[in-house]
């Protein structure tokens, strides 16, 4: 057991002092906007190939989603379009600590989606077809086998879908470790360095304007997480993206009641490397209505219908805050990206109460274990809950990688490898066509095949 149980170890990733970079390079082959797992993984793969890459992060590395997530690294339950990239990602995760020379807390503890009734069991059975197509080790286990893993807690369920090769890692370790490795490989990683916009000449990117100066470049990857839609809108590019707030808690170290990850309508729980558990409510996400909700309603209707039972909709300050934001801005003065260095929503106290109650009910063995830290993260999602990747807009050299929809941590390293190949024009073993932004505008049906 670790001694770190009562410190704010998750918040520490994104609440340290911000120091402006000493200098800003004048030029780069590639500039990446965003220091989440997608941005830093791409930077790492590019730098290893000798590409001169600069990554600009407005706040801290892993300050937003990549440092606040549940830490699940799963193949199970994904949309088939994501699986080739996810399987590649899993290969990378297995070797990651060795490659980086740093611990990232990765272990293959397995992933369980429990079934309360025949309906849930049937839907798990359906996903087995996908698992078979991709030769995954996913299988259905009955209550008796589940009890071998969970003891008497298993008796409440009929059984579960189980992927033994799925894993978990520590978000507060992984992304910063990849960023350090990228730096060692030659990437320039700038934190406290907001990108205000881009410059173009003759229809092509010519530079990136940061708060610390302009970087000449012909290739930009916008991996700005929950900010991508706002950033792109200023360039005349419509990226359908909405935000939902997820509330998360961390317990003190406790007995091992679970080796990996478990999801049920009451609880999402994973064993942590420090011996505690990262816990969330299994069926509550907050969405505060904003002008974007109405702008993109039509595209998000299928996802809204699918998630209607778990979404808690509200309207309040966020609506008016977004309404008041400029759609375009001067690149010579402070922008919203500098005003909000780290998107740090408050955890929802009602959800926290629900987490405590559900945890005690489902795992009575944890009833006396204190919650020692809680936080929230703003998940950004696309209309079909699958990422949007590729070159976009009318300015050549401008690419996006966003919309990882609540499951981008696990796939992040694989995405980074595929993105590096995309940006250098190298042969990509992963087909990125299914991720093109234009699928939302070319009449293709919008069908979410997984959940957030």
Ligand X SMILES: Cc1cc2nc3c(=O)[nH]c(=O)nc-3n(C[C@H](O)[C@H](O)[C@H](O)COP(=O)(O)OP(=O)(O)OC[C@H]3O[C@@H](n4cnc5c(N)ncnc54)[C@H](O)[C@@H]3O)c2cc1C
The nearer residue to ligand X, 397 or 416, going by C-beta atoms, is: 416
* Cβ proximity to ligand X, 82 vs 120, nearer residue: 82
Region binding ligand X by CB under 6 A among candidate stretches 109-117, 181-189, 220-228, 354-362: 220-228
Q: Does 406 bind ligand X (CB under 6 A)?
A: yes
**Which of 54, 90, 97, 195 lies at the binding interface for ligand X (CB under 6 A)?**
195
Extended strands (E) in 3-88: 30-33, 53-56, 72-73
Which is closer to ligand X, CB of 38 or CB of 418? 38
Among 157, 162, 227, 399, interactor with ligand X by CB under 6 A: 227
Of 71 and 105, CB closest to ligand X: 71
Contact 377, 64 (CB under 8 A): yes
Residue of 105, 110, 240, 377 that binds ligand X (CB under 6 A): 377
Closest contact distance (angstroms) between CB of 59 and ligand X is 5
* Residue 65 and residue 226 in contact, taking contact as beta carbons nearer than 8 Å: yes
Identified binder of ligand X from the candidate list 287, 407, 417, 439, rule CB under 6 A: 407
Query: Residue 423 interacts with ligand X (CB under 6 A)?
Result: no
Closest residue by Cα to residue 304 from 322, 319, 285, 281: 285
**CB under 6 A: which stretch of 29-37, 112-120, 151-159, 309-317 binds ligand X?**
29-37
Instruction: Count the residues in the chain.
Output: 452
**Token digits of residue 144:** 């008796």
Candidate residues 409, 413, 434, 446; the one interacting with ligand X per rule CB under 6 A: 409
Question: Rounded to whole angstroms, how far apart are CA atoms 394 and 291?
Answer: 25
Pairing of strands 267-271, 261-263: antiparallel
Write the CA distances from 68 to 238, 252, 343, integer angstroms. 27, 17, 11
Least spacing, CB of residue 404 vs ligand X, in Å: 3
| Nearer residue to ligand X within complex by CB, 35 or 434 | 35
Contact between residue 416 and residue 66 where contact means Cβ atoms under 8 Å apart: no
Beta bridge partners of 114: 160
Q: Give the separation between CA 107 and CA 104, rounded to whole angstroms.
A: 9
Chain centroid to CA 317: how far? 25
Among 28, 30, 35, 384, binds ligand X (CB under 6 A): 35
Tokens of 6: 């009562």
Beta strand residue intervals within 184-266, DSSP E: 188-190, 195-201, 204-210, 213-216, 219-222, 242-251, 261-263
Buried b (16+ CB within 10 A) or exposed e, 320-340: eebeeeeeeeebeeebbbbee
Query: Which residues lie closer than 8 Å to 295 by C-beta, 6 or more apart?
Result: none
Q: Which of 224, 262, 362, 366 binds ligand X (CB under 6 A)?
A: 224
* Site membership for ligand X, residue 389 (CB under 6 A): no
| Smallest separation (angstroms) from ligand X to the CB of 397 | 17
- Give how many residues touch ligand X by CB under 6 A: 41
Q: How far is the CB of 157 from ligand X (least distance, A)?
A: 21
Q: Which residue number, 334 or 367, has a Cβ lying nearer to ligand X?
A: 334
Positions in 55-114 near ligand X (CB under 6 A): 56-59, 63-66, 68-72
Q: Which is nearer to ligand X, 82 or 121 (CB)?
A: 82
Q: Select the span of 45-53, 222-230, 293-301, 352-360 touching ligand X (CB under 6 A).
A: 222-230
- How wide is the angle at C-alpha 365 spanned by C-alphas 162 and 5, nearest 5°? 90
Residue pointed to by tokens 């009449």: 443
- Residue ranges binding ligand X (CB under 6 A): 33-39, 56-59, 63-66, 68-72, 194-195, 223-227, 231, 246, 248, 337, 377, 379, 402, 404, 406-410, 412
């Amino acid at each position: 057991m670790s001694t770190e149980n009562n410190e704010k170890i998750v918040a520490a990733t994104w609440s340290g002092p911000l120091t402006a970079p000493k200098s800003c390079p004048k030029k780069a082959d590639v500039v990446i906007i965003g220091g989440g797992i997608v941005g830093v993984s791409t930077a790492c793969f590019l730098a290893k190939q000798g590409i001169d890459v600069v990554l600009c992060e407005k706040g801290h590395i892993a300050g937003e989603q990549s440092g606040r997530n549940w830490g699940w690294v799963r193949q199970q339950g994904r949309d088939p379009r994501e699986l080739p990239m996810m399987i590649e990602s899993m290969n990378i995760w297995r070797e990651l600590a060795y490659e980086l020379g740093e611990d990232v807390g990765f272990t293959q503890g397995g992933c369980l989606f429990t079934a309360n009734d025949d309906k849930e069991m049937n839907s798990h059975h359906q996903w087995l077809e996908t698992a078979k197509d991709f030769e995954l080790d996913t299988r259905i286990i009955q209550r008796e086998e589940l009890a071998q893993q969970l003891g008497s807690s298993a008796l409440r369920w009929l059984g579960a879908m189980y992927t033994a090769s799925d894993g978990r890692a520590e978000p507060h370790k992984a992304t910063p470790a990849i960023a350090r490795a990228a730096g060692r490989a030659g990437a320039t990683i700038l934190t406290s360095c907001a990108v205000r916009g881009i410059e173009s000449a003759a229809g092509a990117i010519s530079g990136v304007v940061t708060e610390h100066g302009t970087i000449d470049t012909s290739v930009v990857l916008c991996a700005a997480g929950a900010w991508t839609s706002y950033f792109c809108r200023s360039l005349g590019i419509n990226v359908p993206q909405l935000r939902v707030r997820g509330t998360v808690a961390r317990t003190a170290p406790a007995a091992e009641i679970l080796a990996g990850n478990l999801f049920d309508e009451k609880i999402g729980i994973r064993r942590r490397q420090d011996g505690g558990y990262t816990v969330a409510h299994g069926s509550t996400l907050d969405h505060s209505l904003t002008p974007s909700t109405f702008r993109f309603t039509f595209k998000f209707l299928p996802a809204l219908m699918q998630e209607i039972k778990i979404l808690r909709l509200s309207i309040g300050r966020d609506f008016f805050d977004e309404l008041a934001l400029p759609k375009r801005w001067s690149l010579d003065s402070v922008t919203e990206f500098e005003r909000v260095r780290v998107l740090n929503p408050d955890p929802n106290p009602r959800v926290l109460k629900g987490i405590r109650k559900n945890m005690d009910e489902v795992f009575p063995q944890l009833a006396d274990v204190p919650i020692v830290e809680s936080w929230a993260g703003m998940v950004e999602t696309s209309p079909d809950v699958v990422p949007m990747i590729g070159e976009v807009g009318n300015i050549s050299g401008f690419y996006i990688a966003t919309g990882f929809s609540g499951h981008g941590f696990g796939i992040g390293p694989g995405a980074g490898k595929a993105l590096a190949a995309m940006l250098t024009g190298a042969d990509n073993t992963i087909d990125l066509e299914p991720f093109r932004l234009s699928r939302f505008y070319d009449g293709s049906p919008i069908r979410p095949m997984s959940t957030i």
